[in-house]
Homo-oligomer: A and B are copies of this chain.
Amino acid sequence: MFYHVKELQYNAKPSKPDAVYAKKLQEILGGQYGEMTVMMQYLFQGWNCRAENKYKDMIMDIATEEIAHVEMIANMIAQLLDGAPANDQEQAAKDPAVEAVLGGMNPQHAIVNGLGAQPNDSVGYPWSARYTVGSGNLLADFRANLNAESQGRLQVCRLYEMTTDPGVRDMLSFLIARDKMHQNQWMAAIEELERTQDAVVPSTFNPQHEKQEVAYTFYSFSEGTESQQGSWANGPTMDGKGTFEYIQNPEPMGQIPNLKPGPPFIHGTPPTNLKNGEQSPPQ
């Protein structure tokens, strides 16, 4: 169960309205790697957690914090929209400043949301639950989380560079620091899990059911051998159980596929080797 307090986790006050930037800021609210994604991803991972309680507790802690991040950004966007102009295009064309705002802002911010934040990304695409993952295997999911925090912090940093508003930058500097913490946190949790199981997910699959001959082979399917120069093509593998092998000219190992014609009730392509003018009979 959850409780709410009225104060935001951190300040979210722009120095002045900027409807065009509000549109861009939607990316870290409702985008693929926005705060809604980590909020919902962590909540479901926590609720579905079947491992030790310290993991469930930790996931729920950070999930609950993420709701507060969504709250901060939503509030910021609403304020950035405060001064959005309503003027029609004709008048706007005369005033470059107005026109710049009208041309660059998201029209739904005015028409649909009445100058409020929306649960969408910076091109107006709605947040989708397919952005999240909760597999029930914590090592797999913590890698998803580390990725989400990496992509997320990268996007916040890019947005920081795109504004000079000190109020906006103040809030972003907070989010950038929290994303650093969260990257550190998931890296620590991953390292902890890798100490008690294999680094390859899932570690519990019977290795006898795996085709070992191709488990450590790098296949070069492109011309050239530049890809041979990396640590992925030489030396011991990261799971400590093999050695990387580099194959310059991989050969296919499988059959030439050949599908049977479908049954009559499917009405697939009728036999095509008839002579000109000869009709295939109805089946």
Residues in B whose Cβ lies below 8 Å from that of A138 = 269, 272
B interface footprint on A33-66 (CB within 8 Å = 1, 0 otherwise): 1001000100110011111111111101111110
Q: How many residues of A contact B (CB 8 A)?
A: 212
Supposing A177-B211, A212-B177, A267-B204 touch, asked if A259 and B150 sit within 8 A by C-beta, the answer is no
Bound-state Cα–Cα, A29 to B260, Å: 21
Q: Could you tell me if B123 and A123 are in contact, using CB atoms closer than 8 angstroms?
A: yes
Among candidates B47, B111, B165, B238, residue contacting A188 with C-beta atoms closer than 8 Å: B238
Q: Could you tell me if B88 and A221 are in contact, using CB atoms closer than 8 angstroms?
A: no
Q: Which residue of chain B has its CB nearest to the CB of A225?
A: B57
Supposing A27-B107, A209-B176 touch, asked if A60 and B4 sit within 8 A by C-beta, the answer is yes
Bound-state Cα–Cα, A272 to B64, Å: 24
Bound-state Cα–Cα, A228 to B280, Å: 24
Bound-state Cα–Cα, A265 to B111, Å: 10
Residues in B whose Cβ lies below 8 Å from that of A92 = 100
Q: Could you tell me if A197 and B279 are in contact, using CB atoms closer than 8 angstroms?
A: yes
Residues in B whose Cβ lies below 8 Å from that of A184 = 200, 216, 232, 237-239, 242, 244
B interface footprint on A100-132 (CB within 8 Å = 1, 0 otherwise): 101110111011111111111111111111111
Point out which of A24, A215, A274 has the most chain B C-beta atoms below 10 A from its C-beta: A215
Q: Give, as a whole number of angstroms, the nearest-CB distance from A97 to chain B.
A: 5
Residues in B whose Cβ lies below 8 Å from that of A6 = 57, 222-224, 256-257
Q: Give, as a whole number of angstroms, the nearest-CB distance from A79 to chain B.
A: 7
Residues in B whose Cβ lies below 8 Å from that of A213 = 177
Q: Could you tell me if B282 and A206 are in contact, using CB atoms closer than 8 angstroms?
A: yes
Supposing A192-B230, A210-B180 touch, asked if A257 and B154 sit within 8 A by C-beta, the answer is no
Q: Which residue of chain B has its CB nearest to the CB of A221?
A: B64
Q: Could you tell me if A7 and B1 are in contact, using CB atoms closer than 8 angstroms?
A: yes
Q: Could you tell me if B82 and A260 are in contact, using CB atoms closer than 8 angstroms?
A: yes
Among candidates B4, B162, B254, B283, residue contacting A204 with C-beta atoms closer than 8 Å: B283
Q: Could you tell me if A50 and B269 are in contact, using CB atoms closer than 8 angstroms?
A: yes
Q: Could you tell me if B123 and A124 are in contact, using CB atoms closer than 8 angstroms?
A: yes
